[in-house]
Structure 1
Amino acid sequence: MITWRRLAETDFPLLRRWLLEPHVARWWNHETTPEAVARDFGPTARGEEPAEDLLVSLDGTPVGLVQRCRYADYPEYLAELAAVLEVDAESVSVDYLIGDPALVGRGLGPRVIAAVVAATWADYPDAPAVVVPVSAANRASWRALEKAGLTRVAEGELEPDNPVDDRDHVVYRVDRP
């Protein structure tokens, strides 16, 4: 069973290990010192940021992270995305990782995404859609979105998370049922 809870500061060592995994580091591009993890994830863990960092577990064992936020809370992202696709400010975005490389490629990512999207409709009653931009080069990520029921609705140039990537992105969307 897939469950999640808000990431806590006590989870930072585990998150740091995941961020160091090559399959995560390639796309997340975070500094991984304990201080950097605390700096980047601490405000959300303490509730000082409007976003959510969710520690995802499978049958009680932590397996990944989902970040979830409303575009309205991050107007700079909404403005950048507007050049590619018009998005209602109440729409929600998600980002995700599966931490353990042994669990990658086994269908867990799409299951996690689908579960979080399903919960989003109750957790964010004003959200008309979940809209997720992804680097076009990150085929595994956009295939996971497709398997979770999202549809590609746009392509365009956005600022990459990792400076080694070009600006080409694909945008996926699912509307509230």
Structure 2
Amino acid sequence: MIELRKMSMDDLSIFKKWLYEPHVAKWYEHPADWIYEIEKQDSEYNWIHHFIVEHEGRPIGFCQYYACKDSDELWEGYTELGGSYSIDYMIGENDYIHKGYGRQIVLDLVKKITLHSDAKRIVVQPDEDNKASCGVLLSCGFVLDTEKNIYVKEV
């Protein structure tokens, strides 16, 4: 139903549009930082795998994943365990929110991560007020580590 394709610089304009949509801007603070990351995806941020989510050839969202060890994030000790990955995702097009596409995006990202031989877990920390994202993660088999307020899925 959806396809994750590698993001290119041609996608930057639609990505920028999505970042300023009210339903995205609420959770994706500091849009200039996200734009800079995409602009540098082939150099400074080449350790992050960026994708455009398409439905029947139409771009509807964005997602990414990365090995936690490559970032400067400690993930409350999960990075130290090794084999930890994290994800980010959004549905940019209003017509596609609350229709199950978020779940499909997360499941597709999980499949991509499991192809890495070192992958042991995926850790995600959405804003606790983002009930839709928290629900998506739970529906995809993530468990909330209540001590650390991080959703975890062993792979």
- TM-score, normalised relative to structure 1: 0.79
CA distance 1:25–1:59, shift in 2 (3 Å):
same
Distance in 1, Cα, partners of 2:9 & 2:79: 35
SS in 1 for 2:137: helix
**C-alpha contact (below 8 Å) 2:53/2:59 kept by paired residues:** yes
State yes or no: 1:31 paired with 2:31.
Answer: yes
Match of 1:70 in 2: 67
Which ranges of 4 or more aligned residues in structure 1 deviate by more than 3 Å? Answer: none
SS of the equivalent of 1:27 reads coil
Match status 1:120 vs 2:113? yes
Between the aligned residues of both structures, percent identity stands at 27
How far apart, CA to CA, are the structure 2 residues paired with 1:7 and 1:87?
Answer: 29
Instruction: Supply the distance in 1 between the matched residues of 2:147 and 2:93 (Cα, whole angstroms).
Output: 30
Aligned to 1:107: 100
**Per-residue deviation, 1:153:** 2.1
Instruction: Give the Cα separation in 1 of the matches to 2:5 and 2:144.
Output: 28
- Whether the aligned pair in 2 keeps the contact of 1:114 and 1:149 (CA below 8 Å) is no
In the alignment of these two chains, the number of paired residues is: 154
* Structure 2 residues without counterparts, runs of 5 or longer: none
Of 134, 140, 145, the residue aligned with 2:132 is 140
Q: Hey, what does 1:8 align to over in structure 2?
A: 8
- Written as runs of structure 1 = structure 2, the 5 A alignment for 1:27-106 is 27-31=27-31, 38-44=35-41, 46-49=42-45, 50-74=47-71, 76-78=72-74, 80-82=75-77, 88-106=81-99
How far 1:37 sits from its partner (Å)?
Answer: 5.8
Q: Deviations over 1:13-34 (max 9, x none)?
A: 00011111000000001335xx
Q: Is the 8 A contact 2:68 2:79 kept in 1?
A: no
Aligned to 2:143: 151
Amino acid at match of 1:148: C
> 1:19, 1:99 within 8 Å by CA — same for their partners in 2?
yes
Unmatched segments (≥5 aa) in structure 1? 157-169
